[in-house]
Amino acid sequence: MKFQAFAFPVLAVLPLLVGATAGCSSSEEVGPVDVPGYTKSEPMALEDYCAARVAREGAWCEYFDRCCDDGAVYAKSYCDKDYANVDTCVSTFQSFMADSGTVYAGAYAQASLDEVFNRVPEVPSACNGSHLGESLTNATARAGKRQDAFRALFQGHRGKDAACEYSASCEFGLACQGTSGSFTCQPRGLSCSLDDNCAEGYVCEDNFCRLPPASGSSCSFTSDCPFGLVCSASKICSDSVGNAGEACSATQGCKPENVCAVSGTSTRCAALKTAGSSCTANGECSGTCKAGRCVGFCGGTGIY
């Protein structure tokens, strides 16, 4: 289970706090605290929380295996085997709680699921070319939004200046920060190594918390801009450039559905070809080029 995706440092080996078991009732007896910004709901057992995540995230593993060919290796990399079944999920979270010294607060389970489901869409009923890669790419472009409901659900209780190896071990609002093997729980602020070290709405860049790029931000390449925006010739992230037919270059790219292609004596953005179209190279297709024809990585039209 990729806990690093929640921007926490490496697991610390700490004893499991008394009562932090799979069921919600005994966990609640430890005394989880109220977390600002998140609404409590009916406490949910860890088994039920895992069942919901397996039904959504584990189903993508099956979809990848069924629909995506070997050319979609990077798509399959988003499949998290720890959500393959409920028992594995529960066991992984129990180990996580034992290692991090956190307790399960089942009243925040629904808040956590809401955040997860906002990032991870439902699996298509048929192989239609969709896959989780595009959804996650779009989700990570949401400026500076951490998945804090996870920390409301698995709560740490170490205060400021307490030694730590994992942000989840700290009280809500604190993050595990430090250098050279000396880490303590500190308020989110200006210096950082991970986004979790920063205040809400900021991201960690070059060890400093900064406002994330947005429309109008300066850029050098399209990769400097949020997903879907293009770095313009004037070095500004823009939604109004990169359309089919417009000039493009190494520094001014095209929107995701287009590719920068040679057109006469210049290069211009051209729409990616869909399944069945003739092709000579993979870069022309929204999927991949095989035997002179575009085919989808995961069925359908091949759209990512």
Last residue of a domain, one of 210, 227, 248: 210
Clarify whether residues 183 and 289 are in a common domain.
Answer: no
pTM: 0.71
If 0-12 CB within 10 Å is exposed, 13-18 middle and 19+ buried, where does residue 63 land? buried
Clarify whether residues 30 and 116 are in a common domain.
Answer: yes
Clarify whether residues 141 and 222 are in a common domain.
Answer: no
Clarify whether residues 256 and 303 are in a common domain.
Answer: no
Show the CA angle centred on residue 253, arms to residues 238 and 138, nearest 5°.
65
- pLDDT confidence of residue 157: 93
Clarify whether residues 35 and 123 are in a common domain.
Answer: yes
Closest CA to 157 of 172, 146, 147: 172
Show the CA angle centred on residue 86, arms to residues 85 and 91, nearest 5°.
105
Clarify whether residues 107 and 247 are in a common domain.
Answer: no
Last residue of a domain, one of 194, 210, 226: 210
Question: What secondary structure does DSSP assign to 204-269, as a single string?
Answer: EETTEEEPPP-TT-B-SSGGGSPTT-EE-TTSBEESSS--TTSB--SSS---TTEEEEEETTEEEE
Closest CA to 145 of 89, 218, 201, 214: 201
Clarify whether residues 76 and 205 are in a common domain.
Answer: yes
Q: For the chain, how many structural domains are there in total?
A: 3
CA–CA distance, 69 with 47 (Å, rounded to integer): 33
- Which residues are bridge partners to 268 per DSSP? 247, 261
Clarify whether residues 48 and 127 are in a common domain.
Answer: yes
CB proximity list for 91: less than 8 A, separation 6 or greater: none
Tell me the residue range of the domain where 296 lies: 272-304
- pLDDT confidence of residue 245: 92
Last residue of a domain, one of 192, 210, 228: 210
Clarify whether residues 266 and 280 are in a common domain.
Answer: no
Clarify whether residues 154 and 61 are in a common domain.
Answer: yes
Clarify whether residues 118 and 254 are in a common domain.
Answer: no
Tens digits of pLDDT across the chain (304 residues)? 544 333 322 222 222 222 223 333 333 334 578 998 889 999 999 999 999 999 998 888 888 888 877 656 656 677 788 898 999 999 999 999 999 999 999 999 999 999 888 878 888 888 877 666 666 666 555 544 566 788 899 999 999 999 998 888 999 889 888 877 789 999 888 777 777 778 777 878 888 888 888 889 888 888 888 878 899 888 999 999 999 999 988 777 888 888 888 877 889 999 988 888 899 887 888 777 888 988 877 776 654 4
CA–CA distance, 270 with 47 (Å, rounded to integer): 49
Clarify whether residues 111 and 236 are in a common domain.
Answer: no
- pLDDT confidence of residue 146: 63
Contact 153, 111 (CB under 8 A): yes
CA–CA distance, 186 with 53 (Å, rounded to integer): 31
Two tokens, residue 75: 């798509």
